[in-house]
Each structure stands twice: as C-alpha cells, then as structure tokens.
Amino acid sequence: MFFVIAALFAPVLLKKLFPMPHLEIVKKHAADNKLKVTLVYSVMKTESGFRTEAVSPKGAVGLMQITENTGRWIADKLGDRDYDCEDLKKPEINIKYGCWYLSYLLEQFEGNNELALAAYNAGEGTVRRWIDENAIEWRGPEIKSVPYPETERYLMRVNRIYFVYKTLYPEMDSW
C-alpha cells in the first residue's frame, strides 16, 4: 500500500523540487532559439537555482548566470542598444540572453549538447582549446572528463537535472 501511495505522489513531489518558474518567458525564448524548454530549465536550475538576484563569485548574474561582458556581447549581437548590466537581473532579459547564448553555442559545436554545455560553463574558447588538444575524454556521446573538474561536475549536474525535467515534463522536451 505504501508503495502505491508513494508512486502516486512522487510526480507531484518531484514537480515541487523541479518547478518551471517564468514558464511563458522560457517557452517564448526557447522556441525563438529552437531549444528544448527542459534543457533551458536544466541550465537555469543548475546555474542559479531559479534565483533572479544570484551573482556568482565570477560575476555571472541572474537566472542563467550571464557575465557582464557576455551580456554586453549578446546585446550587441541582438542589437539591444539600451543594454545595461542591471538588466541581467530581469527574468525576461536574462532568459532571452541565456537562451540565445545556449543556441549560439549549440550552433558553434554543431548541435553537440555536451560541448555546448561545457562551453556555457567554461567558455567557448576553452572548449575549443580542449578539442584541439584532445583533452576531452568521451564515454559514447557524453563527455567523461575535461581538464576543469568544475566543468565536469557542471555537466553531470545539468545532465541529471535534464533527465528529471524531460521525465516529469515530456511535453516540454521538444521545440
């Protein structure tokens, strides 16, 4: 009996642990950038735990943890002339920029989620250097190890969270 009750309530409890805040904003910008909503939420939960005011030790800001320099670069690419780094604390701007940047990285790495996510964490130039130096160890389609332990942990965390999101919200796992 206990297992039946647990099985019935597990999805409800898991959805509380893996929420979808700012859903309409995420859906819009994920669709605009041909991203899976579940992937965006996986990055957002890993990056900020959904805290709009989050600031990392390296100065990354907001829900998707965009640095001031990256934000300025993205604003330039998108033609946002009125960009101010304080805008990164606004969900609409942060999600818009984070989705665009993730899509850009996926394009740069020919649709490879693993490389795009590693670049989201460690930087595009760093991942290109790892590729050039054969410094990435693969386990099938997934990265097994990279020179930065922080990026390895990041990839494991995003991939685990992504698995939960696409299991809980299969209708959101497409674009």
Residues that are catalytic: 47
* Residue whose C-alpha is closest to residue 130's, from 142, 118, 117: 118
Residue 63 has φ and ψ, to the nearest 5°, of -55, -45
Residue type, 47: E
Distance between CA atoms of residues 167 and 55, nearest Å? 29
Distance between CA atoms of residues 55 and 32, nearest Å? 26
* Residue whose C-alpha is closest to residue 168's, from 2, 10, 8: 10
- Three-state DSSP at 134 gives coil
Distance between CA atoms of residues 115 and 118, nearest Å? 5
CB atoms within 10 A of CB 24: 8
Is residue 172 within 8 A of residue 165, CB to CB? The reply is yes
* Rg (the chain; Cα; Å): 17
